[in-house]
Structure 1
């Protein structure tokens, strides 16, 4: 399958949270393939180092616990020092571990939000001054179709992703005068190694196929295609939106 090329992205510095595996790693590789300089963070140090080594030039990685706001801010500053000011930010990091709401402690609830919501705000406010000084930028907050559907056993994740959608609108309105665009990107059920290991069964996939208009599987590249578009000048007048890529869930 041929993929779109966005010449205006070449040479820009992109920062991705949760970029060592899954959809995040696909973001890192695809932006790098557009000629971008890509910094990324993850807790998975071995995987992150391997990906950075694979990509070589224009790739920067640091192990980072994104629930540590100071560490995340320092990582963004470090990437900017190494690669140049960040003008594209992809807030991708998340944890969709299932849980029963009635059995979830307040501490566990707050830990879930600390992974699924807080880093988007911390990273955005850290990158915004660079984007403003550069004359503009693009922030892509990875949400989820589940924020709209509200499935059971994912209360913390669903609440965080709903907040991501609202945060995107609020920041888009506030930072629009500085030509900083902020959009949410909501994937459907994307087939990653984690999904294959934990939740993708023939029965679950058959049920999913009944709910969507397009019967093919969604893959990380399908989400990365949308992220590249939203980051590029082709989307220069698109902000405060939620782009859903879910195979047309009915």
Structure 2
């Protein structure tokens, strides 16, 4: 199928994990994709593997000047941007009392401020393209409580998505958020956490963690014209966790 034929997409945090899965799915469906990450080695390797329709650009999503660079490189290589997936993010499992102000500001910069900067940077390019789709990757912890810092920023992504969706509707740009639960990424299923994840999965209504591709299928839908009447909404992929 070619559900993204003729579309130009940017995916952040795309060198590995869910981001890499999104990029592969987009390429399969006909898109030209700019993938960004701080991990240059893995990012370049993935772009090379995927061929001429993939371009890697090293990016620190917390820097406004890097966003300008990414948009410029995307337009130079492929044309105006139709799709942005704000996927980059970090997690932190500390209590309020253990968390320093510096650590808190860092997670806010990467998980929250970067989403604002990405949307702001891409809107003019999408206007040139005649419209587009922004997909902000939040978390189930953008709906229910989790770790301090991480939860806060993921709730903020949910709110920004709604505010941006209302404003961007006038430009023909849709903005939605995706809320994954526990996903089988390398970080989650590494040896020191594998047993804990398997035990936790017993409490998930569907009795398993999700595969990255299951999230990518949702992101693909929102990026495509099939989701033409969906904006300002949350799309939850958590196996039923937040329904309990």
2:201 match: 208
- Find the counterpart in structure 1 of residue 62 from structure 2: 67
What do residues 68-119 of structure 1 show as CA deviations (whole Å, max 9, x unaligned)?
1111221122122111111100000000132222121212111111111111
Q: CA deviation at 1:39?
A: 0.1
Instruction: Summarize the alignment of residues 120-159 of structure 1 with structure 2, pairs less than 5 Å apart.
Output: 120-151=115-146, 154-159=147-152
Q: Please tell me whether residue 184 in structure 1 is matched to residue 177 in structure 2.
A: yes
Distance 2:239 2:195 in 1: 18
2:71–2:125 Cα contact (<8 Å) kept: no
Q: Does 1:95 align with 2:90?
A: yes
Structure 2 residue aligned with 1:80: 75
Instruction: Give the TM-score of the pair, scaled to structure 1.
Output: 0.93
Change over 3 Å in CA distance of 1:226–1:129 after alignment to 2? same
Distance 1:190 1:199 in 2: 16
Distance in 2 (alpha carbons) for counterparts of 1:241 and 1:182: 8
Post-superposition offset of 1:216 = 3.1
**Secondary structure in 2 matching 1:243:** strand
> Which residue number in structure 2 is paired with residue 224 of structure 1?
216
Q: Distance in 2 between matches of 1:213 and 1:170?
A: 32
Q: Which residue of 2 aligns with 1:35?
A: 30
Gaps of 5+ in 1: none
Separation in 2, partners of 1:131, 1:8: 18
Aligned to 2:165: 172
Cα deviations by residue, 1:151-186 (Å, 9 ceiling, x for unpaired): 2xx211111100000000000000101110000000
Report the equivalent of 2:99. Answer: 104
* TM-score normalised by structure 2 residue count: 0.95
Is the 1:73–1:123 contact (alpha carbons within 8 Å) kept by the matching residues of 2?
A: no
TM-aligned CA distance change 1:106 to 1:133, over 3 Å: same
Please, which runs of 5 or more residues in structure 2 have no aligned partner?
A: none
Match of 1:247 among 235, 239, 243: 239
3-state secondary structure, aligned to 2:34: strand
Cα displacement string for residues 214-249 of structure 1 (whole angstroms, at most 9, x for unaligned residues): 123301100000001011111100000010011111
The reply on whether 1:233 has 2:225 as its aligned counterpart is: yes
